[in-house]
């Protein structure tokens, strides 16, 4: 089974990225052929400071390696190092009805939030379809926000195959229900570009500062509190299981503690959870050349795997002549 995931280097990686996608990917590595890439072309839709995009790309690669993407097990590369993806993107554009893109929630959400509406933001799902289809991926682990994009990739692949035969593998999304949408500090979907994140690798002090800003219900300390709807709880539960989770629920039910206490607890469990990853990150931070080497080898491998598909597509679509 081929499993593929991509993350945009559009800002610091956050706990939504981790639980919605990276963690599932790391776990899939033992039993599948896994493909993980840094989606720097996608990030151009929101980052147009070139220096920053370059830096964020290396930062994101360093984070990925620290979080457990293993270059021995996974093909791991930067999107722009396999330029054939842009060729496929263009080819697929001709199999993408405008209506399909006009219905995309992510585009509608971003425009509603006042982001500049470039063509790149509009056609983003076609590039994502190319990312997925270029590697004949079977499964794409995503957060709930990306389900529709994988469905668009399926639709495009089906249209292409109807025209030219069984060339593209029809992908499926995989969502882990408990972490489908991790809330941000304002209660909306946590997103790099919304400025509402709790990042994975911040320093302890600034992380606590961010966590203290999480929006909570205004109730007195004494009162029992609802945990299902609490943003702090919905983040904390990601790091807890079994008795620890039950104990936290009990603290909400019992009352006598304010949200400030739960926030401090969240900061503590999170800090512990990522401890070993922070140590690994320090290593890669000091060995950036090793990271570059890993990315280069990954791109070579990715291109080798993509070429037969690209050649078939060139042939059937008449681009090879």
Q: Does 191 bind ligand ATP (CB under 6 A)?
A: yes
State yes or no: residue 8 binds ligand ATP (CB under 6 A). yes
| Among 130, 125, 28, residue whose Cα is nearest residue 83 | 130
The vertex-304 CA angle with 54 and 321, nearest 5°, equals 105
CB-nearer residue toward ligand ATP: 140 or 313 = 140
Stretch that binds ligand ATP, among 80-88, 95-103, 114-122, 138-146 (CB under 6 A): 138-146
Report in angstroms how near the CB of residue 263 gets to ligand ATP at its nearest: 19
* DSSP 8-class letter at 50: H
Least CB distance to ligand ATP at residue 146 (A): 4
Q: Which two tokens stand for residue 216?
A: 């909570």
d(CA 14, CA 16): 5
Contact by Cβ (8 Å): 264, 184: no
The reply on whether position 74 binds ligand ATP by CB under 6 A is no
Residue 96: both structure tokens together:
């993408």
26, 126, 190, 214: which one contacts ligand ATP (CB under 6 A)?
A: 190
Q: Please state at what angle helix 259-273 crosses helix 204-212, rounded to 10 degrees.
A: 140
Is residue 4 at the binding interface for ligand ATP, with CB under 6 A as the rule?
no
| CB of 63 or CB of 84, closer to ligand ATP | 63
Kindly tell me which of 11 and 298 has the beta carbon lying closer to ligand ATP. 11
Phi, psi of 64 (to 5 degrees): -60, -45
Integer angstrom CA distances of residue 19 from 149, 197, 214 = 19, 13, 18
Residue closest to ligand ATP, measured at CB? 20
Is position 146 an interface residue for ligand ATP (rule: CB under 6 A)? yes
Shortest separation between residue 203's beta carbon and ligand ATP, angstroms: 20
Binding segment (CB under 6 A) for ligand ATP, from list 6-14, 68-76, 199-207, 209-217: 6-14
Q: Residues near 207 by Cβ (< 8 Å), separated by ≥ 6?
A: 198, 199, 267, 270, 271
Nearer to ligand ATP, 182 or 232 (CB): 182
Least distance from C-beta 11 to ligand ATP, angstroms? 6
Q: Do the Cβ atoms of 207 and 163 come closer than 8 Å?
A: no
Binding site residues, ligand ATP, CB under 6 A: 7-8, 10, 16-17, 20-21, 46, 142-143, 145-146, 179, 181-182, 189-193
């Amino acid at each position: 089974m081929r499993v593929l995931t991509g993350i945009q280097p559009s800002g610091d990686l956050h706990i939504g990225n981790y639980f919605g996608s990276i963690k599932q990917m790391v776990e899939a590595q033992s039993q599948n052929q896994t493909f993980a890439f840094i989606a720097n072309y996608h990030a151009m839709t929101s980052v147009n400071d070139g220096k920053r995009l370059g830096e964020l790309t290396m930062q994101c690669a360093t984070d990925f390696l620290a979080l457990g993407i293993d270059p021995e097990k996974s093909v791991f590369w930067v999107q722009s190092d396999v330029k054939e993806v842009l060729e496929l993107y263009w080819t697929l554009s001709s199999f993408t009805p405008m209506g399909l893109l006009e219905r995309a929630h992510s585009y509608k959400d971003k425009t509603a939030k006042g982001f500049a509406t470039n063509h790149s933001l509009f056609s983003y799902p076609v590039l994502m379809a190319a990312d997925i289809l270029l590697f004949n991926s079977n499964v794409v682990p995503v957060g709930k926000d990306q389900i529709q994009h994988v469905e668009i990739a399926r639709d495009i692949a089906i249209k292409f195959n109807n025209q030219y035969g069984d060339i593209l593998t029809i992908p499926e999304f995989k969502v882990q229900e408990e972490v489908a949408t991790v809330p941000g500090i304002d209660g909306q979907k946590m997103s790099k570009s919304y400025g509402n994140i709790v990042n994975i690798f911040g320093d302890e002090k600034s992380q606590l500062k961010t966590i203290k800003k999480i929006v909570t219900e205004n109730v007195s300390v004494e009162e029992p509190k609802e945990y299902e709807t609490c943003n702090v709880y919905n983040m904390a539960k990601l790091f807890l299981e079994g008795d620890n989770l039950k104990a936290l629920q009990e603290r909400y039910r019992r009352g006598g503690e304010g949200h400030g206490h739960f926030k401090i607890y969240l900061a503590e469990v999170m800090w512990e959870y990522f401890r070993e990853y922070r140590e690994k990150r320090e290593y890669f931070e000091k060995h950036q050349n090793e990271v570059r080497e890993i990315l280069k080898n990954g791109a070579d491998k990715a291109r080798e795997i993509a070429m037969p598909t690209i050649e078939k597509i060139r042939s059937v679509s008449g681009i090879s002549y």
